[in-house]
């Protein structure tokens, strides 16, 4: 994804999806980093996402700022890690 840095802050939304019909609550931690030297151009650099049972979509919001000096293109990477997962046990209907 190419983000053109402008003279203002660009908001970047990264969608997070999990399988529809997923059961259980899940907590995901994420961390962002760039291949550049100026970490002040993007924030926040980490966070958590809490998804409730059957919730299948969320997003990470990043801010990308401009630099006063001309800078080469920079790549960025966002890593996700599941921190906790609480499964729901579904009981089958009683047979008659």
Q: Where are the domains of the chain?
A: 19-86
Q: Which residue has the tokens 């802050």?
A: 9
Instruction: Report the predicted TM-score, pTM, of the whole model to 2 decimal places.
Output: 0.73
Residue 42 phi/psi, 5-degree rounding, is -140, 135
In tens, the pLDDT along 26-40 reads: 999 999 988 776 667
Listed in order, strand segments (DSSP E) in 23-75 are 25-34, 42-43, 46-51, 57-64
In tens, the pLDDT along 27-84 reads: 999 999 887 766 678 899 999 999 998 888 999 999 888 766 666 677 788 898 888 8
* Non-local CB neighbours of 79 within 8 Å, separated by 6+ positions: 30, 31
| Distance in angstroms (rounded) separating the CA atoms of residues 96 and 94 | 7
| Distance in angstroms (rounded) separating the CA atoms of residues 51 and 73 | 33
């Amino acid at each position: 994804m190419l983000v053109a840095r402008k003279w203002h802050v660009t908001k970047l939304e990264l969608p997070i999806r999990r399988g529809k019909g997923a059961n259980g609550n899940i907590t995901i931690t994420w961390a962002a980093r760039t291949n550049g030297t100026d970490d002040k151009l993007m924030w926040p650099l980490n966070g958590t996402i809490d998804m409730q049972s059957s919730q299948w979509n969320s997003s990470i919001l990043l801010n990308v700022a401009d630099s006063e000096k001309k800078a080469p293109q920079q790549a960025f990477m966002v890593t996700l890690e599941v921190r906790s997962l609480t499964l729901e046990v579904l009981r089958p209907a009683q047979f008659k």
